[in-house]
Structure 1
Amino acid sequence: MTAPRPTHPSQATEAGPHAVPQPAPSVNALARPALARLLDQADALRVQVAPGPSGVCLVDAGIACRGSVEAGLLIAEICLGGLGQVRLRADGHAAWPGWVEVNSAQPVLACLGSQYAGWSLAASKDETGGRRFFSLGSGPARALAAKEPLFAELGYRDRADAGVLVLEVDRLPPPVIVDKLLRDCALPASALTLILTPTTSLAGITQVVARVLEVALHKAHQLGFALADIVSGSATAPLPAPCADGVMAMGRSNDAILYGGRVHLTVSGSDAAARDLAARLPSCNSAAHGRSFAEIFSAADHDFYKIDGALFAPAQVWVSNLDSGNTWQGGGTRLDLLQSLWLGAGQ
């Protein structure tokens, strides 16, 4: 699953209603073509579509089916609210063969207003009639409910008549969670689609690695950089193979970003702010940098909020200022570390 990134309100700058250009597009409406392709090509993409609790549409992208990298790429574009492109680049000359590429002309709305896994969804054993349920919801339907304070900062709320949400889970959501989603999104069951993507699956690990640009946007927000000054963004990160162990799979997906993620942000404003962002954004600013995320997570007693928040960032960043024409670079990749973690013994 995506590692929750702790928020530090004291470090954040109120972005106000001008963080998202007005009139803003509907992320749910723009995501519909990609969602339609996912549903229409379900067999070819190795995903399963079936009715879920209360009659919502459930897309299983790796629980009871194999799923695929191609499905993960499409799910990532859905998560971006139709405001970004996600592709897989095969590079036989690089230190790793497969790289996920992401770019967006509206990265604030695409990444923070849609893709960010910021909607906490939990149900107790009593509410589920069995096991406790927890998931972080991501994707366009977040903007229908707008339950997170972030939406007030963005000055954005979607009003579409249908929505789609991605849950990084390894089991079906219980009816109590589905009913909550329908209430909060103000949608009939026939208008809500839930996509389930366990990180242990091909689609799941792909859509998490495709969050490399979003991780940079979230870190920029935490550092107090003016969101309205972020014009566009592009990013790449290596795509590891998934594994059956959930903690290890989560570790691999996060390591791909922390040690292999490369981000280019185009901004406006002052050179001082752009230079400072390039210096402070990369993951190397954390004292925990240099160890695998699975190791760091275990040392923190499996508590995300005990991990240094500075770690949740891409490895390398370039920041280009449109107003001055200057570019700054900070951080650096550790592909040697990723190879040591991902390659089989004896390689």
Structure 2
Amino acid sequence: MISVNEKAVKLAEKMMHDPEAYKVKVYSICGANIIDAGVEASGGWEAAKLVTEILFGGLNEITLETFPERIGDVYYNAVHVHSDHVVLQQAGCNISGWELRPGKYAPVLAGPGRTVARKAGDWLEKYSDYSDKYHKAVLTVEKGTRMSEDEVQDLIDATGVEPQDLYIILAASGSTVCSVEVAARILEQTLHRMTEEKFNLDNIIEAHGFCVVPPVVKDDLIAMGRLNDVLMYGGQSTFTVDCEDSEIEAVIGKITSDKCSEYGNMFQKIYQEHGCDFYKVPMEMYSPAKVLIINQRTGKSFKAGEFNLAVLEKSFNYTVNDK
């Protein structure tokens, strides 16, 4: 059986062994390995690439390219991703939000490490019964400050590995690493919507996609808004499946962001109007801009959604002076 943590640990250790090259800082809290890739350290594009590959379970490389559309007459970077084990990579490793204490503590956390210790009630239960038996674990945390000892101990306890075998990669919303790895969640954003609309995940063969990488801003609220805007308005996913055309027809018209009543607004505005609570934002808003589903069985392609460059331009030009 594939061990996503075994593969991901090798990538984490590459950064640890050459922190200067990757522009990261390495230290220990409670015996766990902390890799600061975007809080006190700036983090670089190569670190962003490795962190994204960690969030794909170490199973696929990612590339950085140019977004094919101009936004406000400017070309921006884009992240291009491929996924050969879609459910395992996107649901097991890439989906964020892990409720460590029911109803109380759900940090913006992802990574293969959540597959080492399967927790009752975790979102992963909806997707897969995969469990990784490797003795080491890798997690990523989106946070603008250093983690406390209590927070680190929570993750040690949650994974059940020895402290020295836990690798925690830390990056703020307003960092290059976070900008790239969140944009790369375009496939996870699509998978979760397909799941909500009851598509049979066993039909999925592979997936690939791309998403514009937002410009970095050292303001957590604005950065968080841009990170969600690029997925909703500037990302496309392509899924290859094997099923009846009718199964695709049942979901294709429901899984893109333009089907949501809040469509056309910057995510920051939507978030604030719902009390700054992610769970109160309409689920349909957490959808990709564009989706293409190719049916391997019949050869027919189905597409939905569109890019919204006007909203992206507004988002990318919204600054701390506008708050």
Output the TM-score relative to the length of structure 1. Answer: 0.85
After superposing the two structures, state which structure 1 stretch, 145-154 or 270-279, moved more.
145-154
For residue 186 of structure 1, report the CA deviation from its aligned partner: 2.0
Question: Does the CA contact (< 8 Å) of 1:122 and 1:135 recur in 2?
Answer: no
Q: Tell me, in whole angstroms, the C-alpha distance in 2 between the residues paired with 1:114 and 1:74.
A: 14
Give 1:253-292 correspondences, 5 Å limit.
253-292=227-266
Give 1:129-208 correspondences, 5 Å limit.
135-147=107-119, 148=122, 150-151=124-125, 153-208=127-182
Residue 215 of structure 1 is matched in structure 2 by: 189
- 2:93 is the counterpart of 1:114: yes
2:3 to 18, 26, 29: 26
For residue 176 of structure 1, report the CA deviation from its aligned partner: 2.5
SS of alignment partner, residue 84 of structure 1:
coil
Q: Tell me, in whole angstroms, the C-alpha distance in 1 between the residues paired with 2:225 and 2:67.
A: 23
Question: Does the CA contact (< 8 Å) of 2:87 and 2:127 recur in 1?
Answer: no
Change (3 A) 1:102 1:320: same
Residue 24 of structure 2 is matched in structure 1 by: 47
Residue 220 of structure 2 is matched in structure 1 by: 246
For residue 111 of structure 1, report the CA deviation from its aligned partner: 0.5
1:87 to 39, 45, 63: 63
Q: Tell me, in whole angstroms, the C-alpha distance in 2 between the residues paired with 1:274 and 1:133.
A: 36
SS of alignment partner, residue 133 of structure 2:
coil
Post-superposition, which runs of at least 4 consecutive aligned residues in structure 1 deviate over 6 A?
none
Output the TM-score relative to the length of structure 2. Answer: 0.91
After superposing the two structures, state which structure 1 stretch, 70-79 or 326-335, moved more.
70-79
SS of alignment partner, residue 107 of structure 2:
strand
Q: Tell me, in whole angstroms, the C-alpha distance in 2 between the residues paired with 1:304 and 1:122.
A: 18
Q: Tell me, in whole angstroms, the C-alpha distance in 2 between the residues paired with 1:85 and 1:250.
A: 25
For residue 169 of structure 1, report the CA deviation from its aligned partner: 0.9
Which letter does structure 1 place at the counterpart of 2:3? S
Residue 104 of structure 1 is matched in structure 2 by: 83
Q: Tell me, in whole angstroms, the C-alpha distance in 2 between the residues paired with 1:279 and 1:152.
A: 22
For residue 69 of structure 1, report the CA deviation from its aligned partner: 2.8
In the comparison of the two structures, how many residue pairs are matched? 314
Question: Does the CA contact (< 8 Å) of 2:203 and 2:241 recur in 1?
Answer: yes
Q: Tell me, in whole angstroms, the C-alpha distance in 2 between the residues paired with 1:206 and 1:297.
A: 21
Which letter does structure 1 place at the counterpart of 2:42? R
For residue 118 of structure 1, report the CA deviation from its aligned partner: 3.1
Change (3 A) 1:252 1:94: same
Which letter does structure 2 place at the counterpart of 1:335? L
Question: Does the CA contact (< 8 Å) of 1:121 and 1:177 recur in 2?
Answer: no
Change (3 A) 1:43 1:216: same
- Structure 2 unaligned blocks of 5 or more: none
- Structure 1 unaligned blocks of 5 or more: 1-23, 124-131
Calculate percent identity across the aligned residue pairs.
28
Q: Tell me, in whole angstroms, the C-alpha distance in 2 between the residues paired with 1:150 and 1:133.
A: 17
- 2:311 is the counterpart of 1:316: no
SS of alignment partner, residue 42 of structure 2:
coil
For residue 332 of structure 1, report the CA deviation from its aligned partner: 0.6
SS of alignment partner, residue 194 of structure 2:
helix
- 2:286 is the counterpart of 1:307: no
Question: Does the CA contact (< 8 Å) of 1:121 and 1:136 recur in 2?
Answer: no
Question: Does the CA contact (< 8 Å) of 2:98 and 2:106 recur in 1?
Answer: no
